[in-house]
Structure 1
Amino acid sequence: MSSIVGRHLRPFFAALLVVVTLALSVGALEARALNEPHRQPTQPAQVVHTKGVKSRGAATDPNVKRDSLPANHAGTTVPAPPSKGGAKTRGAMSGALHVDNRTSWIIRIYVDGDYVGNVGRYGDSYGYYGCSVRTLYARAYFDDGTWIAWGPVRRDLCDNYTWELDP
């Protein structure tokens, strides 16, 4: 008789064992989640939106000092940013600039009045300018001699910075 009762109770005990195991697993996961330190979300890059301003003619622009790429100086080097293998800094002192072109025009980018490159139509451009306050300026030139300008904008580039150029 005990073998008949044992045979009927085995599936019950097996099912009970599965339920208890699942309950303990879920409890352990919840306890682990509660004991982990709370993670703060990372700070998003600072984003500033700037609308373009149409020019009124071919007057000189005080925001442009040099309208061509500067020559590299022979024998000098610029330290690499941390993301490219350079020395690590304390905190978020990267000085990275992201220019986000939200227009259908090719735009020239100037940093401290010096031309540093273009950003294509609806494109993105990235540069490293060290940790300092910089003057940002941008222009889209047109074949009729006019242009649309963004800025000047003075920003501290000690953190990652995104500059959105809107039409």
Structure 2
Amino acid sequence: MVFASLLCVSEFTFAQERSAEEAVGSGDAVTSRTRGDDPNIEQGKAPNVKGELSEDIVQPADKGGRTRGTICYVNFDNWTSWIIDCYVDGRYKGDVAAYGEGGVTVGAGDTRVYAVAEFTDGSKVSYGPVTKYCSNAVFNFEMHSDSYKYAIER
């Protein structure tokens, strides 16, 4: 019985590991002529409501948050001359200035990253979405004018 339980535990442990191939990738940026509704965006910029906490904010331990539990840090790295709006799990998390970099801490698990640069003529360039498992790691998302790269770094 002890052997059977150890066998189950080791299978469960290996099932949680992710291969290195799944954690790294790239894709082409998509250029479109109209802004319109975007199925990758569930919520735009959220207002600050005095006295209320946002439901999806995770306070990192180094800023007074819990030290237990797992988090994912998403880093947006802009290699373009454009301002790019950044989304995690369909929610607006801010923008990254031209050639800038910025990030956000979110809960661990399957994390969907998406970014879009909108232009005054109504066109846009979008990156992703890419959904990857991220737990106690950094989800790096690098955006170029015609492509993007991503990597999960532990």
Normalised to the residue count of structure 2, the TM-score between the two structures is 0.66
User: Using the alignment, how far apart are the partners of 1:54 and 1:156 within structure 2?
Assistant: 27
Counterpart pick for 1:129 among 106, 117, 137:
106
Q: Confirm or deny that 1:60 pairs with 2:37.
A: yes
Preserved contact between residue 50 and residue 163 of structure 1 (Cα < 8 Å): no
Name the structure with the higher helix share.
1
Instruction: Determine if contact 2:80/2:99 at 8 Å carries over to the other structure.
Output: yes
User: What are the superposed Cα offsets for residues 20-55 of structure 1, whole Å, 9 maximum, x if unpaired?
Assistant: xxxxxxxxxxxxxxxxxxxxxxxxxx6654442101
Q: Which runs of 5+ in 1 are unaligned?
A: 1-45
The 8 Å contact of residues 68 and 115 in structure 1, kept in 2 or not, is answered as yes
Contact 1:80 1:87 in 2 (8 A): yes
Distance in 2 (alpha carbons) for counterparts of 1:163 and 1:128: 14
Query: Quick check: which has more Rg, 1 or 2?
Result: 1
Asked whether the 8 Å contact 1:113–1:137 carries over to 2, the reply is yes
Structure with the bigger percentage of strand: 2
**Greater than 6 Å deviation, 4+ residue runs:** none
The amino acid that maps onto 1:84 is K
Measure how far apart 1:110 and its partner are.
1.2
Q: Is contact 2:33-2:123 (8 Å) kept?
A: yes
Q: Which amino acid is the alignment partner of residue 127 of structure 1?
A: V
Query: What aligned pairs does 1:13-92 form with structure 2 within 5 A after superposition?
Result: 48-72=25-49, 74-76=51-53, 78=57, 80-89=59-68
- Partners of 1:155 and 1:75 in 2: CA distance: 30
8 Å CA contact 2:33–2:122 kept in 1: the answer is: no
The percent identity for this pair of structures is: 32
SS in 2 for 1:83: helix
Indicate which of 131, 138, 143 corresponds to 1:160.
138
Q: When the two structures are aligned, how many residues end up with a matched partner? A: 120
Return the letter of the residue paired with 1:116.
K
Name the Cα RMSD after superposition. Answer: 2.3
